């Protein structure tokens, strides 16, 4: 597995800001050749550090303004099976194993309360779902990790140790 070098982190920071940038502008910003940048990007892709290139979409402007966090209790031994199955639903944008009273949490988006209601009722009808607990998100303060800030905070922590 590739260990990220300083140049890799700089490339990731630039691509995190704008994943559409071509090799030349990245190379110019980092004072490297486009060939070097291309080599590093290819290695990051092969190591699956760069998983894909995507858009940051404002779902509210498309009518998906209901976000719900749904906690699940799942029968023992069926957690992975249930999580993988329900993760295929396009309303779900996050599935996480968690500690505590519940086994898993889902992050979901819907256009209407009716759609959410139908989804939760269908979820509760699944054989291995023991119970659910649904929370509606009232306001989104932050929804994305800023890669550059994360790396900088980790560097500060390392310096303090």
Same domain, 33 and 102: no
Overall number of domains in the chain: 2
pLDDT in tens, 112-147: 999 999 999 999 999 999 999 999 999 999 988 888
- Return the CATH number at 66: 3.30.70.920
Same domain, 68 and 48: no
Same domain, 22 and 70: no
Surface-to-core class of residue 70, CB atoms within 10 Å of its CB (0-12 exposed, 13-18 middle, 19+ buried)? buried
Is 18 part of a structural domain of the chain?
A: yes
Same domain, 49 and 64: no
Q: How many residues does the chain have?
A: 161
Same domain, 22 and 69: no
Is 20 part of a structural domain of the chain?
A: yes
Residue 41 belongs to what domain range?
6-54
Rounded Cα distance between 39 and 33, Å, is: 10
Is 149 part of a structural domain of the chain?
A: no
pLDDT in tens, 64-93: 999 999 999 999 889 999 999 999 999 999
Same domain, 73 and 106: yes
Same domain, 97 and 119: yes
Same domain, 45 and 15: yes
DSSP E strands in the chain: the ranges are 66-74, 92-97, 104-110, 129-136
Contacts of 40 (CB under 8 A, 6+ apart): 5, 7, 8, 11
| pTM for this prediction | 0.80
Is 160 part of a structural domain of the chain?
A: no
Contact 22/14 with Cβ under 8 angstroms?
no
Is 28 part of a structural domain of the chain?
A: yes
Contact 107/69 with Cβ under 8 angstroms?
yes
Mean pLDDT of 100-117: 97
Q: What mean pLDDT value characterizes the chain?
A: 92
Same domain, 21 and 77: no
Is 141 part of a structural domain of the chain?
A: no
């Amino acid at each position: 597995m590739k260990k990220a070098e300083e140049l890799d982190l700089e490339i990731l920071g630039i691509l995190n800001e704008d994943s559409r940038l071509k090799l030349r502008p990245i190379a110019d910003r980092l004072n490297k050749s486009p060939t070097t940048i291309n080599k590093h990007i290819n290695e990051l892709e092969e190591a699956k550090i760069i998983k894909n290139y995507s858009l940051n979409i404002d779902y509210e402007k498309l009518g998906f303004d209901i976000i719900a966090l749904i906690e699940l209790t799942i029968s023992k031994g069926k957690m992975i099976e249930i999580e993988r199955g329900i993760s295929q639903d396009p309303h779900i944008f996050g599935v996480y194993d968690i500690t505590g009273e519940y086994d898993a949490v889902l992050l979901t988006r819907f256009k209407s309360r009716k759609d959410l209601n139908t989804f939760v009722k269908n979820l509760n009808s699944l054989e291995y779902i023991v119970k659910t607990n649904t929370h509606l998100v009232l306001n989104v303060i932050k929804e994305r990790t800023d890669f550059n800030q994360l790396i900088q905070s980790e560097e500060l922590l390392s310096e303090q140790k």
